[in-house]
Structure 1
Amino acid sequence: MSNYNNRSSFGNASQGQGFVQDSFSSDAGAPKKITNHSLRPVTIKQLQNAVQTQADGDFKIDGQDLHQFTFIAAVRGVNRQSTHHTFSVEDGTGVIDARRYPSEEEDLSAIIEGSYVRVVGLLKNMNDRFMVAVHGIRPILDMNELTYHNLEVIYAHVSLTRSKHGGMGMDTGSTAHGAFGTSYGGSSSSGPGQMAERQEQIAEMIRNHPAKETGVHRQEIVARFQQSFGGANAVNSVISHMIEDGFVYPAEDEDHLMSAY
């Protein structure tokens, strides 16, 4: 996967057409070192779990300073004031308020309850409550962008935790619950519904397994699901798809698997 600094822009690029290089990203290619100016893809749960070591200090996610970030969420509430608009947004992992002080020429009328939006902003702590100071917000026109965002969140999280823990320490639930196509009302966004459902079942088993930090053996997964999936080959096929898509990855050897989210 390319550098996760690649983001859908808020400039002249066509909206809803996947990822476009913006002012925060460098040239495309191999993943670059994360810097203080990286545009970090996140979930709301990650924002709510961010750590602030001192008052007015930087927030941290995965041990890294969090500066500007982006996420995709559904709008659950809108409060329009003369000076600012506050949107209550939810992404399947949590709910947070996002506040925007629009310029005179900025039109936010298309952002209504039930719509999906991409948000770029900074995390703030107001009276012991997290909120997002919005730098940019726009409607999502192509729901494939949601799938891409979830994969970018996984990639960023795994890159950081692998480098820090050598492949350990996955944050269960750090990405949207529907990473396999079941988020936001259960609509499938990545492959047939049955495959997505089976992938989620296997991922849930790995996340809740006592050996989740070292890897769950493939044969244990097969034994758990072969009857309901219709045989060992069917289970192994689902596992292979999950490895190819980056949802699980081998731990100490090829037969011990860990969840990437």
Structure 2
Amino acid sequence: MFAFGNRISIVCHTMNPITDFNELTYHLLDTIETHLRFAKPGSGSAMDIDSGPNKPKTIVDHVTEVIEEFTHTTEGCNVEHIVFKLKGKYTEAEIRETIEYLENEGSCYTTIDSEHIKSCAPN
């Protein structure tokens, strides 16, 4: 899912036949959780048990914060900028792995090339 030109689009990466109808239930619950996460940005997930002001920040939180600094630009954030900003906290490999995770989760996407990332969170 990503926003471009004030329109939210959904991208499908794979389609698989349903072999267990529990997958359908899980998908519906995941869809509701994603909607709630984007409907109230910053409030956390509806199913996030360990949330609150004292929750320690993870590498995902740190990388997401840097990416979201560039929501106003069309091209997004350069990966090298993220590595520079988080130098000393995480290795470049850890940061790139986290970016790949965020892309797979639908939280961000590449823009002008594979080195520029933009958040899917609404501005």
TM-score class normalised by the smaller sequence: 0.5 to 0.7
TM-score by length of 1: 0.30
| Alignment size in residue pairs | 97
**Distance in 2 (alpha carbons) for counterparts of 1:184 and 1:212:** 33
- Structure 1 contact 150–176 (Cα < 8 Å) conserved: no
| Counterpart residue number, 1:151 | 34
State which structure, 1 or 2, has the greater radius of gyration over its C-alpha atoms. 1
Q: 1:218 to 1:211 in 2, by over 3 A?
A: farther
Aligned-residue Cα RMSD (Å) equals 3.7
Deviation at 1:208, TM superposition (A): 2.2
Q: 1:219 to 1:174 in 2, by over 3 A?
A: farther
TM-score by length of 2: 0.57
Structure ranking higher on relative contact order (CA contacts 8 Å, 6+ apart): 2
Gaps (5+ residues) in structure 1? Answer: 3-16, 21-144, 155-172, 188-192
- Structure 1 contact 226–235 (Cα < 8 Å) conserved: no
Give 1:151's aligned amino acid.
T
- The answer on 1:237 being equivalent to 2:108 is no
**Distance in 2 (alpha carbons) for counterparts of 1:237 and 1:199:** 10
Q: 1:248 to 1:19 in 2, by over 3 A?
A: closer
Deviation at 1:244, TM superposition (A): 1.2
Alignment of structure 1 residues 85-234 onto 2, 5 Å: 145=29, 147-152=30-35, 174-177=39-42, 178=44, 183=48, 186=51, 197-209=58-70, 212-229=73-90, 231-234=91-94
**Distance in 2 (alpha carbons) for counterparts of 1:254 and 1:202:** 16
| Counterpart residue number, 2:21 | none
Considering fraction of residues, name the structure with more strand: 1
Considering fraction of residues, name the structure with more helix: 2
**Distance in 2 (alpha carbons) for counterparts of 1:214 and 1:198:** 23
Give 1:218's aligned amino acid.
V
